[in-house]
Amino acid sequence: MAFTVEMVRLSLEKLNVLIEEKREYLTDLDSAIGDADHGINMNRGMKHIIEKIRGKEYSDFGGIFRDAAMTIMSAVGGSAGPLFGTFFMKIGQKLIGKSEVSIEELAVAMQDGLDGIMFLGRSGVGDKTMIDAIAPAVEALRENSSDGDSAAWNKAVIAAELGMKGTIPMLSRRGRSSYLGERSIGHQDPGATTSYYLISCFRDASVEG
């Protein structure tokens, strides 16, 4: 089994549905420590992505990830636009010309995407951001790729969920929540939550179809 361009499309379709469903929840999380627009922004961004990619033929990962990246960058006027945009863009650039890769190769490309996010946000693990969900997931995917795709994806989802929950006790060091200082402690980061959803949707599309 491998990871295909069609799985990317399916993952994004699933993420669109899930974000729509969780929009209010994400907005609630964001109103506690951010500016209460994350759910609305992601919902708009994903809708635009789906409009762009639905029915379009893609011969490689480069094309679909680039479309997703450019669309979310044009549609979302919050940090999620440039950050998720960069994540998609870097993955696409790494996998350009390919339409099917192993989970290990995908993990390497996702690491590129993660590095792009860290550079753009001048941020790392432990700052209470999306990185806290994505970084452990990518690591789990890479380290468990030899155990089969399902096992690797399941471990990646568990790692992302733990990472997301791990943001609750953290002191925010990035974004609007960082202005709150100690008062940011005790709240789950909305960006990490969306990132957990993203990893889950990639898992579901890859394993369940």
Binding site for another protein (CB under 8 A): 35, 37, 41, 70, 73-79, 81-83, 85-86, 120-121, 175-176
Residue placing its CB nearer to another protein in the complex, 7 or 39: 39
Quickly count helices (H) and strands (E) in the chain: 8, 2
DSSP state of 186: T
Q: Which H or E element spans position 81? A: helix 80-94
Minimum gap (Å) between residue 79 Cβ and another protein: 4
Minimum gap (Å) between residue 189 Cβ and another protein: 14
Residue placing its CB nearer to another protein in the complex, 35 or 147: 35
If one counts every other C-beta atom within 10 angstroms of the C-beta of residue 54, the result is 11
Minimum gap (Å) between residue 139 Cβ and another protein: 24
Q: How many CA atoms lie within 13 A of 90 on its CB side?
A: 20
CA–CA distance, 136 with 131 (Å, rounded to integer): 8
Minimum gap (Å) between residue 82 Cβ and another protein: 4
Is 91 in a helix, a strand, or coil? Answer: helix
Minimum gap (Å) between residue 136 Cβ and another protein: 23
DSSP state of 180: G
Residue placing its CB nearer to another protein in the complex, 75 or 131: 75
Minimum gap (Å) between residue 30 Cβ and another protein: 13
CA–CA distance, 192 with 166 (Å, rounded to integer): 9
Q: 3-state DSSP helix/strand/coil percent for the chain, to nearest 5? A: 75, 0, 25
Structure tokens at 187: 């709240």
Residue placing its CB nearer to another protein in the complex, 71 or 145: 71
Residue placing its CB nearer to another protein in the complex, 73 or 110: 73
List the Cα angle 101/123/13 in 5-degree steps. Answer: 40
Residue placing its CB nearer to another protein in the complex, 73 or 164: 73
